[in-house]
Amino acid sequence: MLHAGYKCELAKGVIALASDNIGESLFDLFIFETSQNIEQLEQIILDNEKESSFASDAINEIFRIMHTIKGSAAMMMFDNISSVAHKVEDLFYFIREHSAEKIDYNDVPDLVLESLDFIRCEMEKIKTGITADGDGAAIVTKIAASLKQKKDKYQDQPQIMPEKEANDVNNANDQKLIIDKKPKKRKANREKITEDNKNTYKAHVYFEEDCQMESLRSFDIINKIYQFAEVIEYKPGDIMENDNSASIIRERGFEVTFKTAQNITDIDEFFSKLLFLRKHLLKEIAAFDLHQPAEVVTPEMPIENKTEEKQPVANATTDTHTAPIATMINVNVAKLDKLMDLVGEMVISEAMVVENPDLKGLEIENFKKASRQLHKITSELQDTVMSIRMVPLADVFQKMHRVMRDMCKKLGKDVKLEIIGEDTEADKNIITHLSDPLMHLVRNCIDHGIESEEDRVRNNKPKTGKVTLEARNAGNDVLVIVRDDGMGLDKNKILAKAKENGLLNKDSSEMSDSEVYNLIFIPGFSTNDNITEFSGRGVGMDVVTSNIEEVGGSVSIDSTQGVGTAITIKIPLTLAIIDGMNIQVGDSLYTIPTISIKESFFPKQQDLLTDPDGNEMIMVRGQCYAIVRLHQCLNVKTEVTDFTQGIFIMIEQYEKTVCIFADELIGQQQVVVKTLPKYIKNNYKINGLAGCTLLGNGGISLILDVGWFTGYKK
């Protein structure tokens, strides 16, 4: 994010931009657009790989995207990216220009995906401010070899042009490259030239060193000369057919001989106005100096038919097609983060003003009216900012196609991926945290969940396995479900493994199914004896829970042996502002996320129990729950230690429920979540606190970490 200097240096290096802001925005756009292009391209490849051939639309699109990446990377001077993209472009140029059915596509998806991985890796380096120094030579060579093989193979085949292809070439509207035709030549009549009163000139022009495409520039000059003169000869004569002519022109310049009625001053002016000319030499030559019967080369006339009737402008403007006006802009996420922070501060400031202690007891009707209006606007602003930050889950979901493909290919399994509800939206920052967990879960599904083909057939299941990714809204949360129709979790195997690793802290007979399944989230747990390249190292599920919890979400498992497993990730819609219940213990204030609270109640003496070990418990509707004395846990002094004087708040996470004992409830409030300051985090081991927040009266409230209290994290 903060490599502005580096970015600007790059951008300025290319197009010498004066302002740092310009360089930076260009850099950001490059990153954004290229990343998007990579994703899009990957999707096209994956879609077409299934069909085992490429539709012509797809070929054009791949060609175009690679062309764009090449151009942008070249502008930013990332030559390695540009050269790899160029090679893929070449490959697809060949595919596009030749009859598709004759080309062997087998290695094409792999080559393109490998190139994309290379480009993606370089892009990551660029994003983090590291020099993009990856060597793309190996991939370039690989693609070149494949291209050569395809060309050789194509040439070995009988060259009967199919009717369709012949039509394509002749079709003037076709987007395909027009095959070069030799310039039309006609024998000049020497007598005619000498009889004419026109003068003959010879011009020798030299182009600027870095003007590029010298042969085309020469061609352009001939075209222009043709408008006032008759071109007799030019050297080199094969400017469009010979690939080397550009370098010949670069070294020796370009010579053109032409005959015109104009005088030398006019012609000199014509040449001095031409672009990218380093110098030009012009001399008038006598007709008999022409060393041989000249071949007059007449370039095809440019289609610049000025006599053609113009369409009336009125006609055109009444056309109902109006160009769409751009309604989308790209904004740096850092700016949105900042905006969200500011809105958060504003929510706090609003509370500070409205709930100011100085106002207590005052009869201020107008102030209340105004503050209600302020609150309405603040809430709307908050909602709007949050909606701006919302992005669909589609991007993360689509990435899983690639994960699937690679896994299936290497493990030899046949699995299809079904995606439901990819339009569901969540905060951009939360979605970023979802990518890794989803990848692990999908890998786990294929590696551990889906059985081998033989096993599936034996169990009367369809040969092709199925993994479903589903997203849907549930109140203030988003549910993301990864479901497979594999073998399901083996309870006994999990228990045995947990016992072996000393992970059981409870008698296994007392554990519910979901408690057993949750064991697989404990760090270091793995039941798979065969550690594969992809999963089974016992780190995957740990990453899942830690990433999801970081954004205030939770994970749960549901499984039926032999039928399949469903893992549900619950993530909040947004991170920054949560609904919280403020409670007081002694002089300190705490906030519990409302979402974790099941109920709060005053206890009755007869419901309180103490077991022989001294553990305090409470009976609620026939169920027994452990009591957590907040003042003891957090070491806070309070006078309320008797259960009947305080209040109980029942909280739940991962199907574990405890009752928290606090002095009193203060009230419900939207709070802006702030992380604990670094100096506290770094110096003390903080248990049970997830963050802090500012209250309307200026006080600080600590946000409780529900997972810790329910015992899951202990």
Partner 1 sequence: MTSVLIVDDAAFMRMAIRKVLEKNGFEIVGEAENGEIGYQKYIQCKPDVVTMDITMPEMTGIDALKQIKKFDADAKVVMVSAMGQESLVREAIMSGAKSFIVKPYKEEHIVQTLNSIAMQ
Residues near partner 1 (CB under 8 A): 14-18, 22, 25-26, 29-30, 33-34, 60-61, 63-64, 67-68, 70-72, 74-75, 77, 86, 89-90, 93, 173, 175, 177-180, 210-213, 215-216, 219-220, 223, 240, 273, 275-276, 300, 302-306, 308, 310-311, 313, 316-317, 319, 321-324, 326, 330
Backbone angles phi, psi at 179, to 5 degrees: -70, 135
Nearer to partner 1, 251 or 319 (CB): 319
Chain centre to alpha carbon of residue 667: 41
Closest approach of Cβ 320 to partner 1, in Å?
11
Q: Answer for the pair 73, 14: CB distance below 8 angstroms, yes or no.
A: no
Please state, in angstroms and rounded to a whole number, the distance separating the CA atoms of residues 22 and 654.
49
Nearer to partner 1, 77 or 420 (CB): 77
Q: Is the dihedral of CA 570, 576, 579, 584 positive or negative?
A: positive
Closest approach of Cβ 18 to partner 1, in Å?
6
Provide the residue type at 250 as one letter: R
Would you state the torsion angle of the CA atoms of residues 381, 387, 388, 392, taken in this order, to the nearest 10 degrees?
Answer: 170
Q: Answer for the pair 418, 467: CB distance below 8 angstroms, yes or no.
A: yes
To the nearest 10 degrees (0 to 180), the angle between helices 79-97 and 108-127 is 160
Which residue, 126, 227, 242, is CA-closest to 183?
242
Closest approach of Cβ 420 to partner 1, in Å?
29
Backbone angles phi, psi at 247, to 5 degrees: -70, -30
Closest approach of Cβ 329 to partner 1, in Å?
10
Q: What are the residues facing 257 on neighbouring strands? A: 202, 233
To the nearest 10 degrees (0 to 180), the angle between helices 79-97 and 137-156 is 10
Nearer to partner 1, 286 or 326 (CB): 326
Provide the residue type at 151 as one letter: K
User: Tokens for 709?
Assistant: 């209290």
Nearer to partner 1, 312 or 412 (CB): 312
Nearer to partner 1, 98 or 713 (CB): 98
Nearer to partner 1, 15 or 624 (CB): 15
Nearer to partner 1, 41 or 347 (CB): 41
Nearer to partner 1, 174 or 284 (CB): 174
Helix, strand, coil share (%) of the chain residues, nearest 5: 45, 20, 30
Closest approach of Cβ 531 to partner 1, in Å?
43
Please state, in angstroms and rounded to a whole number, the distance separating the CA atoms of residues 430 and 575.
7
Closest approach of Cβ 217 to partner 1, in Å?
8
Nearer to partner 1, 178 or 286 (CB): 178
**Looking at the chain, how many residues does it have?**
714
Q: Is the dihedral of CA 668, 673, 679, 685 positive or negative?
A: positive
Nearer to partner 1, 62 or 627 (CB): 62
Nearer to partner 1, 81 or 589 (CB): 81
Please state, in angstroms and rounded to a whole number, the distance separating the CA atoms of residues 330 and 31.
12
Q: What are the residues facing 114 on neighbouring strands? A: none
Please state, in angstroms and rounded to a whole number, the distance separating the CA atoms of residues 177 and 622.
80
Backbone angles phi, psi at 616, to 5 degrees: -90, 140
Closest approach of Cβ 164 to partner 1, in Å?
20
Closest approach of Cβ 313 to partner 1, in Å?
8
Closest approach of Cβ 328 to partner 1, in Å?
10
Q: Answer for the pair 111, 42: CB distance below 8 angstroms, yes or no.
A: no
Closest approach of Cβ 178 to partner 1, in Å?
5
Closest approach of Cβ 273 to partner 1, in Å?
7
